[in-house]
Amino acid sequence: MALIEWSPEFSLGVAELDDEHRDLIQIVNQLYQQIQSGRYQTTVIDALEQLHTSAAGHFAHEEEMMRTHAYAAYEEHHADHRRLLAEVTAMIDQCQDGVDDDEAMARWLYVWFCNHFKTHDAPLHQLIGVSP
Ligand SMILES: [Fe+2]
Ligand SMILES: [Fe+2]
């Protein structure tokens, strides 16, 4: 079972950004599958590194768009992006040290992505979704 199911409320109304959201959800779901299937430590670390890279690329894309539109809530949105990247880095460190808590990791990612999409990305949708 997938950790995060795609929902229309995760859509920004911009095909490229929506594809990036789908990719991020897919990476998180693959990571969750690996955790559940008695995974190898290196596979989970690889998935976390892939998540960090893909998320950083997506965030840069969104942040550029917010700057272009002089988006008022830029700082809060940007700070929440940094929070995810810092946490994924900490998760990689914990995996490397063998002190990771897989259930807590999955729960944290689930809560962050669902909340971020709804509370930070959805308002952005209202701005850029109507732009040409
Ligand atoms: Fe996003
Ligand atoms: Fe975002």
Cα 98 to ligand 2 centre (Å): 30
* Within a domain: 3: no
pLDDT at residue 120 tops 70: yes
**Nearest to 41, CA basis, from 99, 120, 117:** 99
Is it the case that residue 132 has pLDDT exceeding 70? no
Of all residues in the chain, what percent carry a pLDDT higher than 70?
96
Scanning 1-132, the segments in alpha helix (DSSP H) are 15-36, 41-68, 74-97, 102-116, 122-128
Grade residue 89 by pLDDT with cuts at 50, 70 and 90: very high
Is 97 part of any domain? yes
Residue 44 lies in a domain: yes
Answer yes or no: are the C-beta atoms of 49 and 92 closer than 8 Å. Answer: yes
Please tell me the distance between residue 40's alpha carbon and the centre of ligand 2 in angstroms.
30
What separation in Å is there between the alpha carbon of 118 and the centre of ligand 1?
10
Q: Does some domain include residue 87?
A: yes
Is pTM, for the whole model, over 0.85? yes
- Please report which ligand is nearest the Cα atom of 66: 2
Q: Is residue 64 part of a domain?
A: yes
The alpha carbon of 7 and the centre of ligand 2 are apart by a number of angstroms equal to 16
- Asked if residue 31 is part of any domain, the answer here is yes
Cα gap 38→60, rounded to integer Å: 34
Q: Is the pLDDT of residue 130 over 60?
A: no
**From the CA of 45, how far away is ligand 2's center (Å)?**
23
Cα-based distances in Å from 55 to 39, 88, 100: 22, 10, 21
Token pair 């971020």 in the structure block, residue: 116
Check if the beta carbon of residue 56 is closer than 8 Å to that of residue 93: no
Using one digit for the tens of pLDDT, what is the confidence trace for 18-67?
A: 999 999 999 999 999 988 887 677 889 999 999 999 999 999 999 999 99
Whichever domain contains 58, its CATH number is: 1.20.120.50
Residue 11: DSSP 8-state: -
Query: d(Cα 39, Cα 37) in Å, to the nearest integer?
Result: 5
In a domain, 37, yes or no: yes
Tally of CB atoms within 10 A around 45: 16
* Residue-number span of the structural domain to which 104 is assigned: 14-128
Residue 9 included in any domain: no
**Burial class for 16, CB neighbours closer than 10 Å (0-12, 13-18, 19+):** exposed
Distance 17 CA to ligand 2 centre (A): 10
Domain total in the chain: 1
pLDDT band per the 50, 70, 90 thresholds, residue 131 = very low
